[in-house]
Amino acid sequence: MTTALITGSTAGIGAAFARRLAAQGHNLVLVARDTKRLGAQATELHDRHGIEAEVLAADLATEEGIAAVEQRLADRTHPVDLLVNNAGFGNKGRYLDVSMADELTMLKVHVEAVLRLTSAAAGPMRSRGRGGVINVASVAAFLPRGTYGASKAWVVQFTQGAAKDMAGSGVRLMALCPGFVRTEFHQRAGMGTDNIPGWLWLDADKLVTAALADLARGRTVSVPDPRYKALMGVVKLTPRGLLGGMSSRTGRKYGPQ
């Protein structure tokens, strides 16, 4: 039986990954900050699907938290076959309105943690000749959206580059780029969502189904919805200056996952 490690597993996209993978019979390592929620999630998934659900309380905004997950990923006696780097958050406010401490914390979680955990997982996976990594980014990666979009753009570029370097190793790496997903993401960031049209919202469970299918197909970037595929096609044809103006007028109040 294979094992998947999911960061940010207790809510939103991470919880949807946990539900789907448990239903498919994968054992899980659930990573989040809230020990109580982790315990409840592990118990529910074990009771419902009969899988083993290990909990690892870790704050990926800290050195100790990242190191703890690195250590688990490096455990060759209990190998991890799929890593889902899902943990992340958004800051409310324009550039310079957000404190430097909060900006650096975002980069710690979105960039440093993703780099270190992907590397910790990919080495043992390459040795075994199989494995997968899904790094959750955002369609914001393709728009000029300040620190959040820049950090997610890094995730996409890093994942694509790593996937190219590991081609033929049996290890698949994919950046997942969702749009607006009905999760706790915006509420936690204090971001309003009243101005977001209903048709832009995605269902987390359907999103995960599409993402896992794209990973199986060997895609290195997944935009798992026809609506957002079409929008990203328009973005590619739109001048960057115009995109920047649109983002500054509408996008700073909120951002896709």
Assign residue 122 the CATH number of its domain: 3.40.50.720
Q: What is the structure's pLDDT at 202?
A: 80
Q: What is the structure's pLDDT at 180?
A: 78
Q: What is the structure's pLDDT at 145?
A: 73
Q: What is the structure's pLDDT at 188?
A: 55
Active site residue 228: no
Phi/psi for 241 (5° steps) reads -65, -40
114-156 tens-digit pLDDT: 999 999 999 999 999 999 999 999 998 988 778 999 999 999 9
Which of 95, 148, 228, 254 is labelled catalytic? Answer: 148
What is the spatial order of strands in the sheet that 27-32 belongs to?
Answer: 53-57, 27-32, 3-7, 82-85, 131-136, 171-176, 221-222
Q: Average per-residue pLDDT in the chain?
A: 87
Q: What is the structure's pLDDT at 247?
A: 43
- What percentage of the chain exceeds 70 in pLDDT? 81
152-168 tens-digit pLDDT: 999 999 999 999 999 99
Q: How far apart are CA 172 and CA 97, in angstroms?
A: 38
CB 148 within 8 A of CB 89: no
pLDDT band at 233 (very low <50, low <70, confident <90, very high): low
Q: How far apart are CA 12 and CA 30, in angstroms?
A: 13
* Angle, vertex CA 66, rays to CA 55 and CA 134, nearest 5: 75
158-202 tens-digit pLDDT: 999 999 999 999 999 999 999 877 655 445 544 445 566 555 668
Residue 230 has pLDDT above 80, yes or no: no
Q: How far apart are CA 22 and CA 75, in angstroms?
A: 21
Q: How far apart are CA 167 and CA 174, in angstroms?
A: 12
Q: What is the structure's pLDDT at 200?
A: 67
pLDDT band at 92 (very low <50, low <70, confident <90, very high): confident
pLDDT band at 234 (very low <50, low <70, confident <90, very high): low
Name, in order, each residue with C-beta under 8 angstroms of 153's C-beta and a sequence gap of 6 or more: 137, 141, 142
Q: What is the structure's pLDDT at 25?
A: 97
Q: How far apart are CA 177 and CA 154, in angstroms?
A: 12
Q: What is the structure's pLDDT at 86?
A: 97
Range of the domain at 141: 3-253
Q: Into how many domains does the chain fold?
A: 1
Q: How far apart are CA 119 and CA 76, in angstroms?
A: 14
Q: What is the structure's pLDDT at 236?
A: 62
Q: pTM of this prediction?
A: 0.87
Q: What is the structure's pLDDT at 244?
A: 47
From the list 204, 215, 117, the residue with the least C-alpha distance to 158 is 117
Q: What is the structure's pLDDT at 9?
A: 97
Return the sign of the alpha-carbon dihedral for residues 45, 10, 18, 76.
negative
Residue 66, token pair as written in the block = 């990242």
